[in-house]
Structure 1
Amino acid sequence: MAIVCQTESFKQPGNNGGSAKRAVFDVESDVVLQNVKTSDFLFQAGDDRTLYRVERGAICHYMLWADGRHEVIEFAFPGDIIGLGQLRTHSTSAQAMVDTVVSLVSEKEFQEILESDDRLSFRLAAAVEREFDYLRDKSLAANEQPASAKVANFLLALSSMNGPEGRDRNLISDEITAGFVAEKLDMSIDKLGAALLCLKKEGAVRETAAGLRIVNTVTLQKMADAA
């Protein structure tokens, strides 16, 4: 016999799918089940960590990196436990591929299974390593943006100086060395290089034989405003 004990439904801003779960308590087996409709999220990065076992259906488990990349980690099918890791919150997202039913896995049950399931141990180790990469990625992204903003502001300043002196406003001459810029901005050459790479990826600047050319002043100003 199963008793519906809770219904929860909401949409996450900016997502096509929502997180819509219907919790059911199975009195006979003492298991809490959740129904997850097609395209809805079982969990998303930032949600409090919960372990689930797929009972029916299929889940796409993926990572969204700081640069916008979607990396599919695995597809979870009946019998698979999903939501592994050591952080308090999830660093990944899990979305139902079809109408899916999952059960909640307690920490005690998980530890018991872990002792005898080598594949689960391997997946847990991979999840912990992935969390480390996720935190490192977030840290690099957080540190990179202020550096990019500093460099963008500096390039805009040089551009404004070029005009009155009769030089091309959008060309930063190669006579201005990386060492000079790094010293003025109080950052390492490596950090300067990473910041310039960010500006190039955004289409704000590009390298030429004569020096660094500003190709999109609006984008460069937006990045400068992020300081």
Structure 2
Amino acid sequence: MSQRLIELLLEALWETLAMVGVSTVLATLIGVPLGILLLVTQPGHILSRPTFNRIAGAVVNATRSTPFIILMVAIIPLTRMLVGTSIGTAAATVPLVIAAAPFVARLVESSLREVDSGLVEAAQAMGASPLQIIVKVLVPEALPGIAAGLTITVVSLIGYSAMAGAVGGGGLGDLGIRYGYQRFQGEVMLAVVAVLIVLVQLVQSLGDYAARRLNKRERSQANR
């Protein structure tokens, strides 16, 4: 592989890391509160709002059911309005966030659902407000599951960012398509695949480590 292609590979890797990093942060900021609301607004929960819950759930499900490549094309007008262009790394971040935020929300909701309902009832009996229950009971108890869910989200975003290359999104996917596929340079395609595999393995390992550290039960067993 030539020096030029190595430089292109490093540039594409940086673009992918930028896309995934920004998308993860924004999707987390949107998805975590949304996931909490999806749980606590269910009928009979601490902030029961059935109508809001049904509408929010329908929007989340509709977004999640849309294939990413179709979503990218469908929201091109929104992307242009937000970032001024429909191609490039910045433009690819918009559909990445929109695709990932509902995914994060459902994973957070699922993690919170695993929290023992007795803890919530005990907090209510002691006079805790809904906000206190969320901040001091639900979220701390669900942190290991939330960390695992965010790890899955980052891995998915890496795959989505590669797909974004098919429509000029930049990053490793774009490099693989332009050089590996269109110019029949097999070594470039292999290099892109290898970098993506290493990147996913690294993210998964770090995520698993974070989830173990956050799991109180595992930490207490490790200290014995």
Greater RCO, CA 8 A, separation 6+: 2
User: When you count strand as a share of all residues, which structure comes out higher?
Assistant: 1
Taking structure 1 as the reference length, what is the TM-score of the superposition? 0.25
TM-score, normalised to structure 2, is 0.26
Q: Which has the higher helix share?
A: 2
